[in-house]
Structure 1
Amino acid sequence: MYDIVIVGAGPAGATLARLLGKKLKILIMDKRQLLDMNSKSNFEKCCGGLLAPDAQQMLAKFGLGIPKDILVGPQLFTVRTIDIQNNIEQYYQRHYINVHREKFDKWLVSMVPPEVTVVCEAVFKRFEIANDNNIKVQYFEQGKERTIYTKVLVGADGAFSTVRRKISLDSRNPKTYISIQEYYKMNSNLPYFSSIFDDDITDFYSWTIPKDDLLVLGTAVMPKNKPYEKFMALKKKLILRGFEFGPCVKKNGAYLLRPEKLDQICLGKANIPLIGEAAGWISPSSAEGLSYSFKSAYALANAIQKRPDSIIAEYYRNTNKLRINIRLKHLKSPFMYNTFLRKIAMKSGLMSMDIIN
């Protein structure tokens, strides 16, 4: 019998296990192999791997510093913002940290206390409530079905959360996108990240991120909107704007959530809470999710310790500031995604900078 079983060992799940691992009996599982820093997982997170200032602040609060082998070059300070509809470009200073996402996740798992049982290459299948109100959890590991019991089951299994789908009783789910990324050999060095706005491609945004000798091109597209055709159309438009893409060496994709209303964030029910993107904690303006993973894990850890008999109610109270933050992102979104308002904002040159060649 475990006190807590966590499904998903990404930043949210690993953080929760690290915070509570010495105080409670915990098992955490993930479909990836995250215990071997040198192994390559068959399931790679489709993520740009940029740590925004809010995520950096949470790492600072946790007293953590990123090891140098997690970092990837170049470390850049400029975002080239391209508005294709309005034919406007501006440069903005931003302070992101460029990391290798898989190594970053493995580093977070490496700090989970040894008292925690970490199960990798495991696929969560189902759960059911037992007569004593404990939870029967079934998962597959190395082709064999395993059964364990726990007092609390935590869903930290990302945007297409199996745990959330099994407990959700309504259709109030965040807007869903397909995130597509391709990695190309770089023919020239780019001294900036880029964000691209093009209503013909998506009502969200697209991006490029240099990673060592590779250039990542990504976009978030509605699933029913011919996503890969839209991706290739984006690539052609960027080539016309001077981007150079070498041979493609890697591709990945995943679901991406975008909460349009606060009631689309689901904290869970009873003794089955959700954290990170599984709950819908992600920025509706930028899709930044790492800071929300850290903050929601911290909020739940405090709730479990303070009120184990009323976890969801305490978790809700602990996330008041997170909901305010999401609401502020909603207010910001029209100035990024409404074509007319975006034109006014970019034409004003507010907070933009000139590039000196």
Structure 2
Amino acid sequence: MGTDIQYDYDTVIVGAGPAGATLARRLATQKRNILLIDGSAQQGEKLCGGLLSPDAQDLLAAYDIAIPNHVLSSPQLFSVRVLDLARPQTRHYRRSYMNVDRGKFDALLRSLVPDTVSVLSGICRTVRRENGGFSLLLKTADGDQTISCRYLVGADGAASVVRKCLFPHKRITRYVALQQQFPAGGENPYYSCIFDPQTSPSCSWIFFKDGRLVFGGAFEKKGCRSAFEAQKRKLIARGTVPEHVMAAPLETRACAVLRPGFFRGICHGKDGAYLIGEAAGFISPSSLEGISYALASAEALYQAFVGAESNKRILRLYKSRSAGLSRKIKLKCLKRPFMYLPPLRALILKTGIGSIEIKSGDTANTPNQTFTGGAL
């Protein structure tokens, strides 16, 4: 690559969510000319449960990042209730998720990015290779703007423009995530993971956040809204949620969500363009949890940038540093049939392997349900 070529920036990071903000913060120590493109003002808060997994909590602890009280949401729960709508089976499993306000959490991570990193509010519309680097067309409040860079990082999520423009042949399974919020009323809070093979090949969820009941799920693109509404009717008919609670949603959101497979889906990038977080396909194929993968993949690419200079060596080192994430996804792909194939799921729920017992008579957090066996 010719060193006489002048770029506007050494490195441009598209997307200022957990992956992009973490990479920008880490790379700032390398005295690079970095631009972080933040589309949150135009795109709004991301559709996300805002539940930090133990892995995500461990990564934040490794950075010595504390979560202030104003970022936390109420309540904090310690179990997940797995519900199969095709069968009268329900189980509880121990989980230690941290309930946070996703918008405030993202803002916290962005606030930790040093002032040496330039931040531009806008949306990346197109990307192309040019002069040994990259040219980006951005939509900003002041109109369209074109910038150039030597290195490009796509941290722009499931609908990644960087991945679409530069790596269109890297296929991955896509769903549409739909989510609604309702006034919780007097409902006791809980966290549920819901399976219904008649309406979705993936999963759905119910959780509570600051006085609201949130119901969402991932569905095939074709007929996604009708499948979403069908699940709501099933939940009401089963007695999981009272009809009056789901009568008037406060808001409805939709977005794309990815599901990597055992052999395909992950794309690290190539020739100076790299992908991190969900843009790269780093997301749990079983639970769709993505924040821990976003943080870990950002750290892996940071280490690659620090440890290598040529594009080939950076890519090789990035793949090496993120190999643990790739293995983790493969293991979850092997685990997935036990969650999503109805006969195997029925067997797991029937045997109660790994489940916890809800004490008899203690119904503080147990809505009306049909249970099997002595444990839930």
Distance 1:124 1:193, change over 3 A: same
The total of aligned residue pairs comes to 346
Q: Within 5 Å, which residues of 2 pair with 1:79-98?
A: 79-98=80-99
Structure 2 partner of 1:335:
338
Which of 210, 213, 216 is residue 211 of structure 2 equivalent to? 213
Maintained 8 Å contact 2:38/2:120: yes
Q: Within 5 Å, which residues of 2 pair with 1:90-129?
A: 90-120=91-121, 122-129=122-129
Partner of 2:218: helix, strand, or coil? strand
Structure 2 partner of 1:164:
163
Q: Within 5 Å, which residues of 2 pair with 1:314-325?
A: 314-325=317-328
Q: CA deviation at 1:79?
A: 1.2
Q: C-alpha distance in 2, partners of 1:352/1:126?
A: 48
Q: C-alpha distance in 1, partners of 2:202/2:157?
A: 19
Structure 1 partner of 2:16:
9
* 133-142 or 321-330: bigger deviation: 133-142
Maintained 8 Å contact 1:262/1:326: no
Aligned residue type for 2:78? F
Aligned residue type for 1:195? C
> Structure 1, residues 143-164: CA drift from partner, whole Å, max 9, x if none?
4122222110100000011100
Q: Within 5 Å, which residues of 2 pair with 1:23-34?
A: 23=30, 24-33=32-41
Q: C-alpha distance in 2, partners of 1:67/1:328?
A: 34
Identity %: 41
Structure 2 partner of 1:235:
232
**TM-score (norm. length: structure 2):** 0.89
Task: Determine if the alignment matches structure 1 residue 193 to structure 2 residue 200.
Answer: no
Structure 1 partner of 2:264:
263
Aligned residue type for 1:138? L
Distance 1:42 1:284, change over 3 A: closer
Structure 1 partner of 2:371:
none
Maintained 8 Å contact 2:127/2:161: no
Structure 2 partner of 1:151:
150
Q: C-alpha distance in 2, partners of 1:180/1:169?
A: 25
Maintained 8 Å contact 1:129/1:135: yes
Q: C-alpha distance in 2, partners of 1:127/1:183?
A: 35
Q: C-alpha distance in 2, partners of 1:308/1:86?
A: 55
Partner of 2:40: helix, strand, or coil? coil
Q: CA deviation at 1:129?
A: 2.8
Maintained 8 Å contact 1:44/1:252: no
Partner of 2:197: helix, strand, or coil? coil
Structure 2 partner of 1:183:
181
Structure 2 partner of 1:37:
none
Maintained 8 Å contact 1:203/1:337: yes
Q: CA deviation at 1:169?
A: 4.7
Q: CA deviation at 1:277?
A: 0.4
Q: C-alpha distance in 2, partners of 1:262/1:115?
A: 39
Partner of 2:145: helix, strand, or coil? strand
Q: CA deviation at 1:60?
A: 1.1
Aligned residue type for 2:196? D
Q: CA deviation at 1:31?
A: 1.7
* 276-285 or 308-317: bigger deviation: 308-317
Q: Within 5 Å, which residues of 2 pair with 1:20-99?
A: 20-23=27-30, 24-33=32-41, 43-99=44-100
Partner of 1:303: helix, strand, or coil? helix
Q: C-alpha distance in 2, partners of 1:335/1:81?
A: 13
Q: C-alpha distance in 2, partners of 1:341/1:129?
A: 47
Q: CA deviation at 1:354?
A: 2.3
Maintained 8 Å contact 1:22/1:115: no
Q: CA deviation at 1:42?
A: 5.2
* 48-57 or 184-193: bigger deviation: 184-193
Structure 1 partner of 2:285:
284
Q: C-alpha distance in 1, partners of 2:128/2:256?
A: 26
Partner of 1:333: helix, strand, or coil? helix
Aligned residue type for 2:11? I
> Structure 1, residues 87-112: CA drift from partner, whole Å, max 9, x if none?
20111121000011111111110000
**TM-score (norm. length: structure 1):** 0.94
Task: Determine if the alignment matches structure 1 residue 347 to structure 2 residue 350.
Answer: yes
Q: C-alpha distance in 2, partners of 1:85/1:263?
A: 30
Partner of 2:284: helix, strand, or coil? coil
> Structure 1, residues 187-219: CA drift from partner, whole Å, max 9, x if none?
223332001111011011110010111000001
Q: C-alpha distance in 1, partners of 2:183/2:106?
A: 24
Note the residue ranges of structure 1 that are not aligned, 5 or more in a row: 34-40
- Alpha-carbon RMSD across the aligned residues, in angstroms, is 1.3
Note the residue ranges of structure 2 that are not aligned, 5 or more in a row: 1-7, 363-376
Q: C-alpha distance in 1, partners of 2:127/2:182?
A: 41
Maintained 8 Å contact 1:185/1:214: yes
Q: C-alpha distance in 2, partners of 1:79/1:135?
A: 45
Maintained 8 Å contact 2:189/2:207: no
Q: C-alpha distance in 1, partners of 2:171/2:22?
A: 24
Q: CA deviation at 1:313?
A: 1.5
